C-alpha cells in the first residue's frame, strides 16, 4: 500500500488570518490540498493567509505552479499571502522563480501572523 503525502494541517490564526501547513513535500497532491484549504479560508472571509513550510523538505515544479495559483487568487480577492519557516534550500528556489516578490516572508509563523494581522483588520481601500 502506498502512503499518501502528509495532509496540510489547517488552523485558524487571529482575526481573519488563516494558517495552512504545507507538509513535507509540496507536489501535485499536497499542493492541491494547500490550494483547497486556502480557497476555503478565503471563501470564509480570510483576507490573509500564512503558508507554513516548517516541515517542507522539497517543492517540485507542479507545487510551485499551484502556489502561484494560490497567490494569484489571493491577489484577485484582495487577500495577502505570507510564507513562513521556509528552509534555505526552498527559499533559494522561491527567489529564483520570483515567488519571494509576491508574498510576505517571515522566519516564524508568529512573525507572519503579526505582520498580516494588521492587514486583515484594515478595511479594503484604506
Q: How does pLDDT run across 17-67, given as a tens digit for each residue?
A: 999 999 999 999 999 999 999 999 999 999 999 999 999 999 999 999 999
What are the structural domains, with CATH classification, of the chain? 10-119 (3.30.750.24)
| Angle (nearest 5°) at CA 86 between 36 and 61 | 55
- Rg value, the chain, Cα: 14
Q: How does pLDDT run across 86-115, given as a tens digit for each residue?
A: 999 999 999 999 999 999 999 999 999 999
Q: What is the pTM of this model?
A: 0.83
Amino acid at each position: 500500500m502506498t502512503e499518501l503525502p502528509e495532509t496540510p494541517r489547517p488552523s485558524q490564526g487571529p482575526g481573519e488570518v488563516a494558517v495552512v501547513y504545507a507538509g513535507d513535500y509540496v507536489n501535485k497532491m499536497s499542493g492541491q490540498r494547500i490550494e483547497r484549504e486556502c480557497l476555503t479560508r478565503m471563501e470564509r472571509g480570510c483576507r490573509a493567509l500564512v503558508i507554513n513550510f516548517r516541515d517542507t523538505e522539497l517543492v517540485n515544479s507542479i507545487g510551485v505552479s499551484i502556489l502561484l495559483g494560490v497567490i494569484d487568487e489571493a491577489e484577485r480577492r484582495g487577500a495577502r499571502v505570507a510564507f513562513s519557516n521556509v528552509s534555505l534550500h526552498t527559499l533559494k528556489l522561491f527567489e529564483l522563480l520570483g515567488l519571494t516578490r509576491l508574498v510576505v516572508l517571515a522566519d516564524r509563523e508568529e512573525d507572519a501572523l503579526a505582520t498580516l494581522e494588521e492587514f486583515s483588520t484594515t478595511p479594503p481601500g484604506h
